[in-house]
Amino acid sequence: MAINFPDSPSVDDVFTSGDRQWKWNGTSWQSIVAGESDPTMGGDLSGTASTAQIIADAVTSNELATTGTASSSTFLAGNMAWETVPGPEITTPNNFFKNWNQISSSFTTTVGASENAVVIGPVAVATGNTWSVNTGSTVKVI
């Protein structure tokens, strides 16, 4: 069955033939689905089909493929494992303190002769605590 489209359509004109619809884009007739062409999302999605986003708080830690146990003393590492926040003594390679800007307890951290460490300042030493560097060693605060 031949379809006879209008001869002089305007942009966004919709033509219906039987149960099919077409929309004129200024150059050609484009087939469209009956109903909304960009439907509104629902459930855990917001926006429309072309701008869909997961709504806030829709994904919890239970829905993530993680190992270990989430708690107030763990963090989700890049390998998707819940890991314990390292304590004040750094003895394992690649353990780092993040936003560690005040020394508020007495502890010793030893950096081996073949290892390097960096301190990014400023660092405050709380009253009653000390920060010392062994003779012959150097600490650079960046």
Give the pLDDT of the chain (142 residues) as one tens digit per residue: 688 899 899 998 999 888 888 889 999 998 887 555 777 888 899 988 888 999 988 888 778 889 998 888 888 888 899 988 765 555 555 555 545 555 555 666 677 677 776 666 667 777 777 777 777 777 776 6
Which residue from 88, 129, 90, 87 is spatially nearest to 106, judged by alpha carbons?
A: 129
Q: Which pair of structure tokens corresponds to residue 111?
A: 């950096």
Question: Given this model, what pLDDT does residue 76 score?
Answer: 87
pTM of structure: 0.30
What ranges make up the beta strands (E) of the chain?
A: 14-17, 20-24, 29-32, 45-46, 53-54, 74-76, 82-84, 102-103, 124-125
Joined tokens for residue 82: 């819940």
Q: Please report the pLDDT score of residue 10 as a whole number.
A: 93
- As a whole number of angstroms, the distance between CA 136 and CA 95 comes to 25
